[in-house]
Amino acid sequence: MNFLSDNVWGPWPEMLEAVTTASTGAQRSYGDDEVTARLGARFSEVFEHELLIFPVITGTAANALALSSLVPGHGAIFCRDGSHIAVDECGAVEFLSQGAKLVTLAGDNGKLSPDDIKSALARFQRGVVHQSQPAAISITQATELGTVYTPGEIAALGKYARDNDLKLHMDGARLANALAHLKCAPADVTWRAGVDVLSFGATKGGALGAEAVVFFHPEDARDFAFRQKRSGHLTSKMRFLSAQLETFLEDERWIRRARRANTLAQKLAGGLVEAGAELAYPVESNAVLVRLPDSTVARLRSKGARFYDWEAPKDGRTLARLVTSFATPESDIDRLIALAKG
Amino acid sequence: MNFLSDNVWGPWPEMLEAVTTASTGAQRSYGDDEVTARLGARFSEVFEHELLIFPVITGTAANALALSSLVPGHGAIFCRDGSHIAVDECGAVEFLSQGAKLVTLAGDNGKLSPDDIKSALARFQRGVVHQSQPAAISITQATELGTVYTPGEIAALGKYARDNDLKLHMDGARLANALAHLKCAPADVTWRAGVDVLSFGATKGGALGAEAVVFFHPEDARDFAFRQKRSGHLTSKMRFLSAQLETFLEDERWIRRARRANTLAQKLAGGLVEAGAELAYPVESNAVLVRLPDSTVARLRSKGARFYDWEAPKDGRTLARLVTSFATPESDIDRLIALAKG
Amino acid sequence: MNFLSDNVWGPWPEMLEAVTTASTGAQRSYGDDEVTARLGARFSEVFEHELLIFPVITGTAANALALSSLVPGHGAIFCRDGSHIAVDECGAVEFLSQGAKLVTLAGDNGKLSPDDIKSALARFQRGVVHQSQPAAISITQATELGTVYTPGEIAALGKYARDNDLKLHMDGARLANALAHLKCAPADVTWRAGVDVLSFGATKGGALGAEAVVFFHPEDARDFAFRQKRSGHLTSKMRFLSAQLETFLEDERWIRRARRANTLAQKLAGGLVEAGAELAYPVESNAVLVRLPDSTVARLRSKGARFYDWEAPKDGRTLARLVTSFATPESDIDRLIALAKG
Amino acid sequence: MNFLSDNVWGPWPEMLEAVTTASTGAQRSYGDDEVTARLGARFSEVFEHELLIFPVITGTAANALALSSLVPGHGAIFCRDGSHIAVDECGAVEFLSQGAKLVTLAGDNGKLSPDDIKSALARFQRGVVHQSQPAAISITQATELGTVYTPGEIAALGKYARDNDLKLHMDGARLANALAHLKCAPADVTWRAGVDVLSFGATKGGALGAEAVVFFHPEDARDFAFRQKRSGHLTSKMRFLSAQLETFLEDERWIRRARRANTLAQKLAGGLVEAGAELAYPVESNAVLVRLPDSTVARLRSKGARFYDWEAPKDGRTLARLVTSFATPESDIDRLIALAKG
């Protein structure tokens, strides 16, 4: 019963097949291979837009490289206070960008709105050399709290970003889960809504380890290849990352598999609520954040359930985060619910 | 007939099996998995020394992270002028180390000796704040020119490093090829000879993509995990990198497979010499650097052979580099030789 | 009537004399001169502690170099949300430290207390590689809002820092004003209260431009000289910075002159309150933060008074900051008060 | 008898007067003052070109900030192997540029020519992501060896730079000495010859401490102010730096005073040659590099002469560097020569 994260699970069987298929023969290295060549076209098709794509190995690399391409060292990036880039990447954005500043903001349900950013932005004076200069907004889709931005919410941020001369970055480590929830086109929550650069995640969704930075405007990617190389993120046998990304998109499997994870999360949330838990946030993707009595938490763990405390216990209850995956056995859900019900 | 590099080839079949085997079930992420747990012990056994090992995805990451752990931003690193860190990593060491300086030196047969370093070191004044401070030596084993340091040559550098308060780093992207040539223990060319940190390469030797930073002295690794994380090099599903590294070492297969590559290089070199080529360097690993008539170069390429010019053509001859791999078909060697002979 | 900042005023006449005196003859450069040699002893005497002192030209340099010496790139620094390092230095700390994170906290009257830090610190997990690691607290004395920490308040932070394995840094750009208010020994608010490193300011207090980084524990300064050099902050004719710093301390003049500025601030605050202004913070140094009717603000400015809006106007009133200096003519104070009274 | 460097001497009396004059009253800080406002126009007049000027406190800051503005982190800068940026700034360029690479080249008489750069440039492949990308040439005028580029030599480099899409930077720490030698207009060796950015030095020539980065093309300075601020190099009381720079240019005094230093160097060189010394380089500015018998070196030092060994003693002779200044007493020259003659 492992609900720690979706990255605790292995890959889809198709990933292994794809890597095996890509293994034959000699291919040019560093991305000049046939698989990677196909990948750009495939992504363009899926996203209905011309784009540039750079496969990398981790989401942290995708985020930090993407943002350091968008933002100068004297830039400020507006993001939610609990966002992955702010609290789970050990300062990678600050490091790779040579000092850009993350301005962390509170936001309802793990989401930012233009209103959340407005007063923070007002504190910055453009062109005043003493202050980091507003340069980008970064949002996570689906959010770290399991909620999902609607296309309209993102479009509002996109418009706000354009109006205020900011770039819009999306951490899409769980974009598939968001799309499975929204049932809209990938374009609707990305470039069409004003997203300039996307950290596209496949690892959590079922790859061995493959992410990509996707630029919807080639001019933003001008120096990216050099940045990727000199940070050690240009893989020689890139075809194996590309093969995973290609497989991920095939037959909308990325979204279909994410849907299963989402469905399991719904079931889990429903069962836990019946067992007396209180949902902390709407369950819109594959993460369930619930307040459980500390005794329940202890019982679940004693029976082998693994999940994170999201906040320190308080008043006899703990905010727990449970994440489901395409690979989570449904029986684990059933068992956890049964245990929670005591 | 692809002789561009050994990284143009796919993985050993065993790599795919290992990854498949590691795919089952849930495992803690970020290296707290069972495969990675076994890996340290396995490496200790093979290297006959306690050590700390950090899997990463590229050799550039391994080198730049290793050196930036050893050397402060005001440090100077002595290396050969054609070394990978100096000419093929786009300034990764300088970037990740926050400005350390590579002091590039000429050296016979692609190797450095204490004598090569001596006069450069003498130009630095210790403790004088205007100058970068001598901090490390970095060597490549096997070298970028296909030659191999003997244990004695490395031990001399190790002694020199210790005597001069320098750390010794080895870029071992092709360490397997060196060991296949030397028929000595891995320890003999690493810690026993004074190497402090090793960039251990498996990608070129037959992984899908897996390298490791190996610290023989834990105190040198003090901040490494944070450095790895904030540069985006801590993989969540690390078990798949670890599985490759484990497989690489199994049954000395890393060395046995490298031996095949070396043998093919010998055959290739012999054939080319018969065809009138001039060997530029002793062929001790899997790279053959030969001077070929420009007409031969053109003929080989017109028939589909791929390899790099290592220097611009001069006086009717070109210095070409041809790299063999465990996966190079022997028939490719035969065909290339036949073509060279005209 | 310039109340924009204390750095709008020129130097004390004694500064010019000191620089002139130091001008004679040849002296070793880069700090190996006689004036700088005397400076360490003089500071030790004044601070009653052994220390290392490094003169620099700006407070931003002092802060960023001091903190980047104390804190690794993966470190987190706790500071107030309106602190100079957080909002007025364009990311200098992040830049020079290679990515350290400023954790900005609210605090009463511009001051931090252990309680303000406690819950923020609790969100960080020590040794967990995904998170920047708590490394230092930085406070400003006197604060950016004109208030002053008591020795007891600093000692509480010092104890908290030690108990939690954090370093304590003080931005002392206006330390003289704080001491003039407190009437205690410099030691009482620095090392004796647990401060590890001090950014000592003389520019605002009456130098042409001279600050210093003061380390109370030599081991913290280990790499400092190199850091100073490679950031371009090692001046060749350092004697002229040192002469200013020496003059600053002479005969307690730094504190006596600061006292005049403080007294003028008191008078100004009193007069403005009589004129109907509301003090936003206790006036304990040389900055007066008052809420004035927008009409008053406009009238004052139309008559030539210069000062900053500290926040955007709201409900018909503006939070204004007025800073006094040793050099502010008392008649300017009188005139401003008269104008405010209408 | 101090010949260690020209920065061992104090300022011109006029510098002290200028600083005193600038001391009166309140002025906007951070460069928005009246003196700095005049400075741009003054420099434009002297250099006969529109330009942007940024005063800073050290030559290392000027060089590293100028080059990091011109060159990305993946850029390569061609410079002489003994240039100040390469050997006397502790990696400041690499640090502030986030990893740019200095390609150090040999050059006759301390000068680079297009031919010296040509073969190094040929080793870089444009657009190949594995390599740092050629981005700038940096030269020193007058050179570290006391020689001076003619306008024609610089124009040749300027043309070469333009033809090869490189920027041209000049470290002009001793530009005044070069101009005193050449008797040409400042424009002739700067923008008119293709120099894009100049590190303008006044400290060595007679300031208390004042340098400036001069951009001849405003677009190159786009981010400069932010870079200056976040590296701690934006001084609050900038008027005192600006006053020095203004005074430096007044009545061509910078060149006239440099001429005295040059003349003394000529006299010194002549006398030493008579005493049996061998000039290592033509004496064209205020530095004399001579080979002296070790016994002479010892005798001179025993009598109080101070100067640097430029290379380790060899075959009984030492390469010594002696630098003269506007302030060097002529009697010191006479005495040194007499001592050398023994």
* DSSP conformation letters of B260-278: HHHHHHHHHHHHHHHTT-E
Q: Which two tokens stand for residue B326?
A: 């465990």
| Chains C, D: CB pairs < 8 Å | 161
Cβ pair C131:A87 closer than 8 A: yes
pLDDT recorded at residue C128: 95
CATH class of C13-251: alpha beta
C-alpha to C-alpha distance for B23 and A16, rounded to whole angstroms: 9
Is A312's pLDDT higher than 90?
no
Quote the Cα angle for B267-B306-B303, to 5°.
90
**CB nearest to A223's CB, from D72, D226, D229:** D72
Cβ pair C74:B226 closer than 8 A: yes
**CB nearest to A230's CB, from D73, D227, D228:** D73
- Identify the H or E element spanning C320: strand C317-323
Residues of A in contact with B204 (CB under 8 A): 236
Q: Which of A90, A129, A131, A144 to mutate to test the interface with C (most CBs of C within 10 A)?
A: A90
pLDDT recorded at residue C312: 87
Amino acid at the residue A279: L
Is D58's pLDDT higher than 90?
yes
Cβ pair C129:A312 closer than 8 A: no
User: For chain D, which residues make up each domain, given as ranges?
Assistant: 12-251, 253-341
CATH class of B253-341: alpha beta
The nearest alpha carbon in chain A to C132 belongs to: A90
Closest Cα in chain D, distance from residue C205 (Å): 12
Average pLDDT of the segment spanning D59-69: 98
Closest Cα in chain D, distance from residue A49 (Å): 25
C-alpha to C-alpha distance for B198 and B258, rounded to whole angstroms: 18
Pairing of strands C52-56, A75-80: unpaired
**CB nearest to A209's CB, from B89, B91, B240:** B240
CA-based torsion, C279, C283, C289, C294: positive or negative:
positive
pLDDT recorded at residue D219: 95
**A54 Cβ neighbours under 8 A, 6+ residues apart:** A65, A212, A213, A214, A215, A221, A224, A225, A228
Is D156's pLDDT higher than 90?
yes
**CB nearest to A91's CB, from C74, C122, C312:** C74
Task: Count other Cβ atoms within 10 Å, centred on residue C63.
Answer: 32
Query: Which segments of B65-145 are extended strands (E)?
Result: 75-80, 101-105, 133-140
Q: Which of A19, A67, A237 to mutate to test the interface with B (most CBs of B within 10 A)?
A: A237
Query: Taking chain D, what is the end-to-end CA distance rounded to the nearest angstrom?
Result: 16
**CB nearest to A130's CB, from D98, D99, D229:** D229
- Chains contacting C (3+ CB pairs below 8 angstroms): A, B, D
Q: What is the pLDDT of residues B122-137, one digit of tens each?
A: 999 999 999 999 999 9
Q: What is the pLDDT of residues A249-290, one digit of tens each?
A: 999 999 999 999 999 999 999 999 999 999 999 999 999 999
Average per-residue pLDDT for chain D: 97
| Chains B, C: CB pairs < 8 Å | 43
**CB nearest to B58's CB, from A20, A90, A235:** A235
Residues of B in contact with D130 (CB under 8 A): 87-90
pLDDT level of residue B342 (50, 70, 90 thresholds): confident
C-alpha to C-alpha distance for A292 and A279, rounded to whole angstroms: 9
The nearest alpha carbon in chain C to D226 belongs to: C90
Cβ pair B237:A10 closer than 8 A: yes
Q: Residues of chain B whose C-beta is under 8 A from some C-beta in D? A: 73-74, 87-92, 94-96, 98-102, 122-123, 129-132, 312
Q: Which of D58, D71, D85, D94 to mutate to test the interface with B (most CBs of B within 10 A)?
A: D94
Cβ pair C4:D28 closer than 8 A: yes
pLDDT recorded at residue A102: 97
Same topology, domains C13-251 and C253-341? Answer is no
- Going by C-alpha positions, the residue among D21, D59, D23, D54 that lies closest to residue D36 is D54
Residues of C in contact with D2 (CB under 8 A): 26
Residues of B in contact with D59 (CB under 8 A): none
Average pLDDT of the segment spanning D37-59: 97
The nearest alpha carbon in chain A to C92 belongs to: A99
pLDDT recorded at residue A101: 97
Cβ pair A99:C94 closer than 8 A: yes
Architecture per CATH, B12-251:
3-Layer(aba) Sandwich (3.40)
Average pLDDT of the segment spanning A227-251: 98
pLDDT recorded at residue C342: 83
pLDDT recorded at residue B180: 98
Cβ atoms of D324 and D264 within 8 Å: the answer is yes
pLDDT level of residue C99 (50, 70, 90 thresholds): very high
- The share of chain D scoring above pLDDT 90, in percent, equals 99
Residues of C in contact with A88 (CB under 8 A): 130-131
Q: Please, where are the H alpha helices in chain B?
A: 13-21, 34-47, 59-70, 84-87, 92-96, 114-122, 151-163, 175-182, 224-230, 239-249, 253-274, 294-302, 330-341
Q: Residues of chain D whose C-beta is under 8 A from some C-beta in A? A: 30, 72-74, 98-99, 129-130, 133, 223, 225-230, 234
Closest Cα in chain A, distance from residue D129 (Å): 5
Q: Please, where are the H alpha helices in D164-307?
A: 175-182, 224-230, 239-249, 253-274, 294-302
**C256 Cβ neighbours under 8 A, 6+ residues apart:** C180
- Going by C-alpha positions, the residue among D103, B134, B136 that lies closest to residue C226 is B134
The nearest alpha carbon in chain D to C324 belongs to: D26
Q: Residues of chain B whose C-beta is under 8 A from some C-beta in C? A: 30, 72-74, 98-99, 129-130, 133, 223, 225-230, 234
| Chains A, C: CB pairs < 8 Å | 56
Cβ pair C226:B129 closer than 8 A: yes
Amino acid at the residue B175: L
Cβ pair A229:D73 closer than 8 A: no
DSSP D74-108: TEEEEEETT-HHHHSSTTHHHHHTTS-EEEEE--G
Pairing of strands B211-215, C211-215: unpaired
C-alpha to C-alpha distance for A15 and B94, rounded to whole angstroms: 36
Average per-residue pLDDT for chain A: 97
Average pLDDT of the segment spanning A105-126: 95
Quote the Cα angle for C245-C182-C305, to 5°.
75
Helix (H, G, I), strand (E, B) or coil at B209: coil
Cβ atoms of A29 and A237 within 8 Å: the answer is yes
Q: What is the pLDDT of residues B71-118, one digit of tens each?
A: 999 999 999 999 999 999 999 999 999 999 999 999 999 999 999 999
C-alpha to C-alpha distance for C13 and A58, rounded to whole angstroms: 60
- Chains contacting D (3+ CB pairs below 8 angstroms): A, B, C
**CB nearest to D26's CB, from C9, C65, C241:** C9
Token pair 């600038």: residue: D22
pLDDT recorded at residue D342: 83
In angstroms, the Cα distances linking D140 to B154, C279, D169, D195, D210 are: 39, 56, 9, 11, 18
Average pLDDT of the segment spanning C31-35: 95
**Bridge partners, residue B26, by sequence:** A9
Average pLDDT of the segment spanning C273-290: 96
- Going by C-alpha positions, the residue among C276, C280, C13 that lies closest to residue C144 is C280
Average pLDDT of the segment spanning D56-72: 97
Closest Cα in chain D, distance from residue C99 (Å): 12
Residues of C in contact with B73 (CB under 8 A): 98, 226-227, 230
pLDDT level of residue B315 (50, 70, 90 thresholds): very high
Is D38's pLDDT higher than 90?
yes
**CB nearest to D19's CB, from C61, C64, C208:** C208
Closest Cα in chain A, distance from residue B29 (Å): 5
Closest Cα in chain C, distance from residue B313 (Å): 41
Helix (H, G, I), strand (E, B) or coil at B219: helix
C-alpha to C-alpha distance for B35 and B26, rounded to whole angstroms: 12
DSSP category for residue C290: E
Q: What is the pLDDT of residues B232-268, one digit of tens each?
A: 999 999 999 999 999 999 999 999 999 999 999 999 9
Q: Residues of chain C whose C-beta is under 8 A from some C-beta in B? A: 30, 72-74, 98-99, 129-130, 133, 223, 225-230, 234
Amino acid at the residue D139: I
**CB nearest to C99's CB, from A95, A130, A131:** A95
